[in-house]
Copies of this chain bind each other. A is one copy, B any other.
């Protein structure tokens, strides 16, 4: 049946075979084949009896994939051939009609688009969960002062709620980015055939509608060689993972004895094989560590696509493992971050003591000078000098004479902590009223998120449960 005189070399088979990873596309491939078979019948390309036989076989395949009983064969090169072979075993000769008016080239592009779309939704939902956990922790620690840092130096005090909400807004952007990824999968590749379109009077619009695409790809050549949506997913995932790495790194820092600001719960910590006293924030460290992996997958796919001539080339098979790994990584990290954040406990005394460091009121002293008409740049210089002298003399700022023209009273009044925090009245600032306002906006975002995203087809995602079953 092949034009070849020799069977594939076993090493080549190993190199070429994608079934070891593309089984994850199984449920999407079935979904696609169902829609394709229906359309072929509706257009009169196959008859209704053929369609019914194909659909019955595909239903069986779907069940087998879902419960892990699908009989893979050694000779199956990829999931598409495995399913077509199985359909033919189940339905007989008519199984050979399923591949009418399609090619693996448009088929795999469509499977990938379906997969990316489903997992972009999963990511968006998992992000919303984590945003919720952050909002809850922010609400529970609304007015807990802590030092804000720049350059890891105490800079100005903020509320813990304000600090935690900073991550919420990063994640809100991640959610929007994954929503854009969904939109990037909106044009159906199927119907492009191998590269040039197909000889049959197909109706791509019907297939698109059934599979949830907004339209059809305008150019068959582009359709089979396009993996932009995978790059888009990886870019969104890399940025999200980078955000999580910042959160993880900060929790590692806060968990140190020196900071002592926060602790992960025992359920999110590890011990040591040798040091019995250790409670290590491994989950936070792994959040930190996973981001470069996702970015590495992104740059790898850019590399694969680099300089690739049109149309389909086998190189495109390299889009899959990186994507699947990024999906697994991001979904696991988001779930872990959510659980870890919910389990965090904070040490209010340590935070408050650190926030009471008088040095971090220096800007406020300068700003007070400004209200007396001193240009800010001069005020900055005056206070810098004050700081230098206080350090030399080993005194606190409140033990120093106020710089002119400040009066002693206003100077001392200023150096009361609450004032520093509550003076940040600008929109988005750390004064309590502003943080409350912000939290309300955050809750509104969350409400919106929960309703705008339809749930991914859980059945499809369930069907991907292959690995544990296959193992």
Contact = CB atoms under 8 A, between A and B. Distances in A.
A434 B12 CA distance: 35
A194 B275 CA distance: 8
Interface in A305-358: 305-318, 321-322, 332-333, 335-336, 339-340, 343, 354, 357
A64 interface: no
Q: Does more than half of chain A's interface fall in helix, strand or loop, or is it mixed?
A: helix
Contacts of A301: 292
Given A194-B150, A377-B95, A6 B169 contact: no
Q: Which of A9, A194, A304, A307 has the most CB of B within 10 A?
A: A307
A278 B312 CA distance: 13
B148 A195 contact: yes
A368 to B, nearest CB: 8
Given A220-B424, A221-B166, A310-B166, A12 B195 contact: no
A56 interface: no
Interface residues of A, number: 201
Query: When A and B form their complex, which 8 residue pairs have the shortest distance between CB atoms, in order from nearest?
Result: A197-B429, A292-B303, A96-B375, A296-B300, A96-B377, A1-B381, A289-B315, A197-B424
B219 A151 contact: no
Contacts of A360: 275, 277
Interface string A227-254: 0100110010011001001101110110
Q: Which of A180, A196, A310 has the most CB of B within 10 A?
A: A196
Interface in A418-471: 421, 423-431, 434, 438, 441-442, 470-471
A141 interface: no
B318 A290 contact: yes
A119 B198 CA distance: 41
B292 A306 contact: yes
B255 A152 contact: yes
A26 interface: no
A332 B14 CA distance: 8
B221 A162 contact: yes
22 contacts: A8-B270, A12-B267, A101-B376, A104-B274, A152-B252, A152-B309, A155-B194, A162-B196, A170-B226, A191-B426, A196-B421, A196-B430, A197-B425, A200-B367, A220-B424, A249-B309, A250-B310, A257-B354, A258-B258, A285-B315, A293-B304, A470-B471
Contacts of A12: 267-268, 282-283, 336, 339-340
A192 interface: yes
A16 B194 contact: no
A153 interface: yes
Number of copies: 4
Q: Which of A205, A265, A357, A441 has the most CB of B within 10 A?
A: A265
A378 interface: yes
Contacts of A16: 270, 282-283, 286
Given A84-B377, A219-B166, A286-B314, A150 B363 contact: no
Contacts of A220: 162, 424, 426, 428-430
